[in-house]
Amino acid sequence: MARRFFVGGNWKMNGNKESLEQLITILNTASLDDQTEVVCAAPSIYLDFARSLLDPGIGVSAQNCYKVAKGAFTGEISPAMIKDCGADWVILGHSERRHVFGESDELIGQKVAHALESDLGVIACIGEKLEEREAGTTEEVVYAQTQVIAENVTDWGKVVLAYEPVWAIGTGKTATPEQAQEVHEKLRAWFRANVSDDVSESLRIIYGGSVTGANCRELASQGDVDGFLVGGASLKPEFVDIINARA
């Protein structure tokens, strides 16, 4: 079964209306590979703005959400609010949420469950830190993170799994195409063993970690790399080249 290439742009805490409108104009006027699903993750305060300006063929995602629909949770946003702004996706478990804001596997799992119940697509992130890779525990770490996500998923059709080695995010270091393929292949085998053959075959496993216009084609050529979650480069014109990495 062919898996549709997926490219997410995580704008993180960047941009203002002027700069984001310029970026959106570039995306709306570029020739984008129609075989690729494109989703832009805007800061929550700009979800409405991004959705109103982006071409309808480009999806919009939030960068985080909470585990319940409403209530006394100052500063949080819910999947219901995200959907009300016209966005269809949310990023959950990003390493910055895990390591800067201290989100636990358990909390991320609860968020995944609630987002899916609310009919949002989930870009679920996993990945090891540099010391974990150097200690040889990459598999152990990513399997444990994946396990908690898997326990909270009912419909895998609405999930994209993003493998992001933490040591490669924003550092300029990129996993080699071989390193990325090796982990993606092992993750697919994990799904075969722990979930099902069908999910293993159909689930899109995308790579994140200093993806650029210069390295995207070689990464995209790997058999188990089904797309990218792009940080810094998603705010630049080269994001178009990354979207077209398989064109």
- Per-residue model confidence (pLDDT) at position 1: 61
- Per-residue model confidence (pLDDT) at position 77: 98
Tell me the mean pLDDT in the region 39-50: 98
Domains of the chain: 5-244 (3.20.20.70)
Q: How many CB atoms lie within 10 A of CB 98?
A: 20
Q: Which of 24-38, 114-128, 142-156, 165-179 has the lowest mean pLDDT?
A: 165-179
pLDDT in tens, 76-92: 999 999 999 999 999 99
Tell me the mean pLDDT in the region 137-160: 97
Catalytic residues: 94, 164
Residue 190 per-residue DSSP state: H
SS3 89: strand
Instruction: Kindly report the pTM of this predicted structure.
Output: 0.97
Could you tell me the pLDDT band of residue 174, with boundaries at 50, 70 and 90? confident
Which of 203, 132, 208 shows the shortest CA–CA distance to 163? 208
- Per-residue model confidence (pLDDT) at position 179: 94
Averaged pLDDT of the chain: 97
Is the pLDDT at 6 greater than 80? The verdict is yes
The CA distance from 28 to 57, in Å, is 9
